[in-house]
A and B are shown apart, each in its own frame.
Chain A
């Protein structure tokens, strides 16, 4: 079974630029998550999708971050404009159903450096 795919693996941008990350979940997984993990900290949930609807985006900085999951499969996370404090690893995860009952499978992440 193929795992969660993410691209790119690494990205370096200057502050105020825009960046987008892509995620392809495990086939058949209805739930998709985006996390931000700053060095030395645990992952922070940014947004959870159930199929193509948003379930939880309470910690997403909506003034600069946006995410979509068209057709309930692939997802993109965008940052516009980026700030220095956005430097982190962005993890995508998927699960069969809601987090209350199902384990999550994580992708390798995208390491973002904002200079």
Chain B
């Protein structure tokens, strides 16, 4: 079964807006990772949040983790056209990716 499930499947926003995508998982974790994939740069690691952390920031990215709800969210602030990509979450224990959220940022 899929361990990381992203929601929504697709998201379309205007440049400058914020984008939020969510991830749910089924079993316990020791960390959760977010990745981005676009045709230009392939699959790139964005951020890793450990099970004892609740929030983590990296530039315009903010990730939260709620282990009681088995969910995580990725917020991209002040989005840019270059953020157009698919975003995946994966839990480290099983390293299973969901189908991803396809984000389109319109200029």
> Taking beta carbons and an 8 Å cutoff, which residues of A are in contact with B?
33, 40-45, 48, 56, 91, 93, 99-101, 103-109
Which secondary structure characterizes the binding site on chain A? loop
CA distance A41 to B97 in the complex (A): 8
Provide the B31-68 mask, 1 if CB < 8 A to any CB of A, else 0: 10100000000111100100000000000000000000
**Range for the number of chain B residues in contact with chain A:** 20 to 34
CB < 8 Å neighbour of B42 from A33, A101, A108:
A108
Interface hits, B58-86 → A, CB 8 Å: none
Least distance between B68 CB and chain A CB atoms (Å): 21
Cα distance A44–B95 when bound, in Å? Answer: 8
Is B88 close to A, CB under 8 A? yes
B45 and A105 contact, CB distance less than 8 A:
yes
- A103-B33, A108-B42 known; A45 and B48 CB under 8 Å? no
Instruction: Check A106 against B88 for contact (C-beta < 8 Å).
Output: no
With contacts A99-B92, A100-B92 taken as known, whether A41 is within 8 angstroms of B99 at the C-beta atoms is yes
Decide: A104 near B97, CB < 8 A? Known: A42-B4, A99-B92: no
Mind listing 17 A-B residue pairs with CB under 8 Å? Answer: A33-B95, A42-B4, A42-B88, A42-B90, A42-B96, A42-B98, A42-B99, A43-B43, A43-B97, A48-B95, A93-B43, A99-B95, A101-B31, A101-B92, A103-B33, A103-B48, A106-B45
Q: A91-B43, A106-B44, A108-B42 are in contact. Are A42 and B97 (CB under 8 A)?
A: yes
Residue numbers in A under 8 Å from B93 (CB-CB): 100
A44 touches B99 (CB 8 A): no
Q: Which residue of B lies closest to A4 (CB)?
A: B42
With beta carbons under 8 angstroms apart, the residue of A40, A45, A93 that contacts B99 is A40
